[in-house]
């Protein structure tokens, strides 16, 4: 009876270093590059941020992250031009968002 390689399949082992390297390669394979926004998109985002802050409107901010898209829904409370970030209230808490991470802003 010829079992081929099935006899040894269940007893294969992997070194921790090899497992870590494999996991890192798999993670990097799913990594996305940050898209560049053109001037029109940047202007649209700036206008949306200003309108939301002045009129106390809720927004959905889409942020760039290397492995997935992240959306935050809240109200813009402060614009820090010097550090290029926004203070956004989300429910009862707040978070600071770096402007360079913003990919889109939509008014709710």
Centre a 10 Å sphere on the Cβ of residue 57 and count the other Cβ atoms it contains: 13
Tell me, what's the pLDDT at 103? 96
- DSSP code, position 14: -
Count of domains for the chain? 1
Residues 73 and 80: beta-carbon distance below 8 Å: no
- Assign 56 a pLDDT band (cuts: 50, 70, 90): very high
CATH of the domain at 51: 2.30.30.100
Q: Which two tokens stand for residue 80?
A: 């820090």
Q: Is residue 48 part of a domain?
A: yes
Q: Among 19-23, 68-72, 76-80, where is mean pLDDT lowest?
A: 19-23
Residues 63 and 72: beta-carbon distance below 8 Å: yes
Write out pLDDT tens, residues 74-84: 999 999 999 99
| Model confidence at 57: pLDDT above 80 | yes
Tell me, what's the pLDDT at 33? 85
Residues 59 and 87: beta-carbon distance below 8 Å: no
Q: Is residue 15 part of a domain?
A: no
Q: Is residue 34 part of a domain?
A: no
Tell me, what's the pLDDT at 51? 97
Q: Is residue 75 part of a domain?
A: yes
Q: Is residue 73 part of a domain?
A: yes
* Mean pLDDT on 20-28: 78
């Amino acid at each position: 009876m010829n079992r081929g390689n099935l006899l040894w399949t269940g007893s294969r082992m992997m070194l921790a270093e090899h497992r870590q390297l494999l996991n890192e390669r798999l993670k990097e394979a799913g990594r996305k590059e940050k898209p560049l926004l053109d001037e029109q998109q940047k202007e649209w985002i700036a206008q949306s941020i200003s309108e939301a802050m002045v009129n106390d409107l809720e927004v959905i901010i889409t942020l760039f992250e290397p492995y997935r898209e992240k959306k935050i829904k809240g109200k813009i409370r402060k614009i820090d031009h010097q550090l290029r970030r926004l203070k956004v209230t989300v429910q009862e808490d707040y978070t600071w968002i770096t402007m360079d991470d913003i990919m889109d802003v939509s008014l709710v």
